[in-house]
Every structure is written in C-alpha cells, then in structure tokens.
Structure 1
Amino acid sequence: MTENTTKHLKNILFIDIETVSQEPHIDLLDERMKKLWLKKASYLQNNDKLPDEDFYLKRSSIHAEFGKIICIGIGGIFFDDNQEPTLRVKMIRGESEKEILEQFRAILEKHKAAANLMLCAHNGKEFDFPYICRRMLVNGITLPRILQVSGKKPWEINHIDTLDLWKFGDYKHFVPLDLLAALFDIPGSETEVSGELVNNLYYVEHNQAKIERYCADQIIVLTQLYMKMNNWSLINENNIEVLL
C-alpha cells in the first residue's frame, strides 16, 4: 500500500449500530406516542397483515422517533512497521442509550485524525448517521463536529457509504451488505441474526452478547467490502481483533 492509502485508512472509523423499539410492547408507550406510532404505521406497508403489536416490534426500531440505540460497533485499521494492516473492532455499550451516545461522541471528538476523521457505514447516509444524530438530540447531546452536516456541501461531509459507492448514482438501487459480501467473495457474518430479530434477542432472550457479536461481524464485513471496492487486499483474518 502507498503511504497515502495507509494514511487514508487510518483516518476512517467503520461503524454499525443496533437498534430496538423504545418499548418491548406497544401498550407500554404513552398514549401520545402510541397514537403517533399507529398513525405512522398506517402509511407503512404491512403485507403480512400483522397485528399492531407485532408490526410495532417489527418496524419501529428502524425509525429514530420510535426506536433507540443499544450498541455501536466501531472498527479502526492500524499498521505495523511493515505496513501490515490490522482491524480492531470494539463495542460501545452502556446502561442507557445516552451513555452509549456520550461514549461515542467522546471517541469522535478525541480521535487523532481530528478534522480528517471519516465515518464509514453501509447505508450510513440513510440510516446510521441520521439515526445517531437524531438520538443524540433526543438525549440532549451536542452533535460532534463530524456529524454536524447542516448547511455543508456534500464534499465537505466526511461520510463514506459503501451502499452509496455501489449505487453509482442509481438512487433506486438498494443492495444489502450480505449480498455485496457474497458478490465480492467476502466471508459473511458468523452470527445468524437479522435486524428484525434484534428486538426479540434484546427484550425476550436478553442476549446482548449475541447482538454485539452480530454487530462486530457486520463491522468486519463492512471493512473488508470497503477494501475490495478500492481494489486493496483484504485484511488477513489473523489480523482482525474483536474486543467484546
């Protein structure tokens, strides 16, 4: 790798968030929020004709107004003296969403890349980045510099979206991360979890560890995809460290 490439990669944080509904049951919402959710749900596709309770658990977590973040995965690439890359993945967790977001904000603000820091996520521009911003505001947290996008020109925003890179301007084209991983022959997630199952794992099984393992796997796949999309070699599996 060239010196410019290594410098570029060291300035990137690869991120993924896991979200759940605000409450484990729709009837636990206060009446005002329940009414507003039912109004929103009436405009969403419910092809399986799910009852209100099941539809709430299936769809509310992807909407920042009705969901919350339960963990944030971050990955960074480091280089040894031989310029061999290592990916280190860690999980940000806490007793509350606010605690998680405050930790994440501190990491962003203290990162040694400073103004050159970049965030990378799959579908990040449509989901991860705005979701984090909205939940920070709800929790009374000042947005860190890298998430302050209002009034900025596109080239002034240090956000990388692998889905956006794959679209090539085709804004109708959505491709999930696991499909791109298969397409580029990148090992997929070892954890059998989908986004829709996170609510059940969190509220019913109380299996936070499995959710975090899934989140870490997503970070690994995301990072390797970004390497492939730039025609760089994949990071050796022996050089991937996951701190859970």
Structure 2
Amino acid sequence: MADFLDQLGDILFLDIETASQTENFEDVDPRLQQEWLKKEKLIRTEIPVSEPGSLYFDRAGIHAEFGQVICVGVGYFQSKKKDKKLLFRSKVFSHEEERELLLALKDLLGKKKWMLCAHNGKEFDFPYLCRRMLIHGITLPEPLQIGGKKPWEVRHFDTMEMWRFGDYKYYTRLELLAAVFGIPTSKESIDGSEVNATFYKEKDLEKIKNYCLRDVEVTARIFMAMHPQTEELQIEIVRPEDSKKDHID
C-alpha cells in the first residue's frame, strides 16, 4: 500500500463546468452561427426544434467550439500514514475572463508532474481544456500534451474508463457510481443540465463552483473505492473555506 499512497499524492482530480459562449444565439459570431446550425442538425433527435438555433442555450456548452470553461475544480490527497488518514484538499478556479482562468490552471499544472483524473475526462474534460486553451493561444501544459505519446506515456486516469473494464460501449454516470459505492451525491442543489441556466439566468457562479468541487470530491472517492486495499483509511475533506491557506499552489 505504501507505493500506492506515494503515487496517490501525485494525482490531481479534476472537474470542469462549462457554459455556452453567449446567453443568446443571436449574439454568436455570424460564422459560428452558421456552423452551429449545421451542428444542430446532427443533434436533433428526440428534442423538437421550434426554430433554428433553439438548441444553442441547452447544448452549446458541451461543445468546445461554441462553449467556454466557467470553473475548474481540482483536488489531491495528502497522506497521514501514522493516523491512517487521507486529507483531500481542493480549490476551484474561476474568472470572468476564460483565458485568465485557463492561464491560472496552466500555472498549477506546470508546477508538478501531475497525473490527472476525471470522470469521463478522456472524452470530455481533458480534450475540452486542450481545445479552449488553443483557441485562446495558450500553449498546452505538459500534463495535457498527449500528441505523439504512446498510450502508457499519457498520465491520465478516467474513473468511467476504469469502470468499463474494457467494455467501451458502457457509459456510466458519476452519480450512478456514487450510488453504487454509497458515496454522498454531488447533485444536492443543481446537476450538469442546469449549469447554463444557473450561470446566465440566476447569475449564481458560487452555486456552480460548489457543485464543481463536490463532483471533484465524488470522483476522488470513487477512485479510492476502486482500490479496496485502502478501505481502512479515513478520508477527511478539507475544502477551501476550511482554511485560509491555499493548499494547491
């Protein structure tokens, strides 16, 4: 277990929350409007479309070309081996300018040889961050540089991929895994489908940040649940408001 705990401290658990680039489709750059209408034709399934662009508010945020990162939650474990305790320290990045948020995250990712872990991170969080950074002219930090690397050289964990056990058609929501392992839900106030409305209509970024941090904590707990040899360890959550010291710098 000692080797596992040593490695555990190098894993940065991560979750991003995204929103559409603008509240109204009419405010989107005309060139991007035309591209969205083409995209919209591909995602019209069970949702009735009253007029062109009507899916933009609810769907654009999940597409990096039409969305933006509004906050990034991160956390890591700090081991207290003598007490058989793990402290999970976390913080959330947010800024009214997406570029500044991404630069702050890049700075963190460049300070240590992190391994990254997210739920569905390989298909959403990691590529989304890469695309948005490049759109803003930001050089990718080393943990997000995967081009030309062999699969075993990419230091990314994905709890959804871990749960698949090679069954690549198997999609499992974070909330389902939390329920399976008896982990408290992160969906107390909002869920992912409500982020755009919370951001634009309610203008409540704090609610989104808290939700994002809880998703990070749930992901970390699920990761630990998949390593039963650590079940005797007590996990203590240390949130940013619990201390004035910035534990991730």
TM over 0.5: yes
TM-fit CA distance, 1:206: 0.4
Matches within 5 A, 1:1-244: 2-51=1-50, 52-80=52-80, 82=82, 83-111=84-112, 114=113, 117-189=114-186, 191-231=188-228, 232-233=230-231, 236=234, 239-243=236-240
The 1:81–1:236 alpha-carbon spacing in structure 2 relative to 1, beyond 3 Å, is closer
Distance 1:151 1:234 in 2: 40
| Per-residue CA distance 1:89-118 (angstroms, 9 max, x = gap) | 11011121111110101001012xx2xx20
The 1:190–1:58 alpha-carbon spacing in structure 2 relative to 1, beyond 3 Å, is closer
Letter in 2 for 1:107: L
SS in 2 for 1:188: coil
Distance 1:119 1:156 in 2: 13
TM-fit CA distance, 1:236: 4.1
Distance 1:50 1:236 in 2: 50
Distance 2:130 2:32 in 1: 20
Distance 1:190 1:33 in 2: 32
SS in 2 for 1:210: helix
The 1:94–1:156 alpha-carbon spacing in structure 2 relative to 1, beyond 3 Å, is same
Contact map agreement 1:14 1:219 (CA 8 A) in 2: yes
Contact map agreement 1:25 1:57 (CA 8 A) in 2: yes
Distance 1:224 1:43 in 2: 36
SS in 1 for 2:42: coil
TM-fit CA distance, 1:169: 1.3
Contact map agreement 1:224 1:234 (CA 8 A) in 2: no
187-196 or 64-73, larger mean C-alpha shift: 187-196
SS in 1 for 2:72: strand
5+ residue gaps, structure 2, are 242-249
TM-fit CA distance, 1:30: 1.7
| Per-residue CA distance 1:127-150 (angstroms, 9 max, x = gap) | 000000000000110001111101
Q: How many residues matched?
A: 238
TM-fit CA distance, 1:6: 1.2
TM-fit CA distance, 1:80: 2.8
TM-fit CA distance, 1:172: 1.0
Letter in 1 for 2:169: K
Distance 2:49 2:76 in 1: 40
Contact map agreement 1:120 1:161 (CA 8 A) in 2: yes
Contact map agreement 1:227 1:234 (CA 8 A) in 2: no
Contact map agreement 1:191 1:217 (CA 8 A) in 2: no
Distance 1:57 1:234 in 2: 45
The 1:190–1:38 alpha-carbon spacing in structure 2 relative to 1, beyond 3 Å, is closer
Contact map agreement 2:71 2:92 (CA 8 A) in 1: yes
5+ residue gaps, structure 1, are none
The 1:178–1:41 alpha-carbon spacing in structure 2 relative to 1, beyond 3 Å, is same
The 1:190–1:31 alpha-carbon spacing in structure 2 relative to 1, beyond 3 Å, is closer
Identity of aligned residues (%): 42
Letter in 1 for 2:219: L
The 1:207–1:236 alpha-carbon spacing in structure 2 relative to 1, beyond 3 Å, is farther
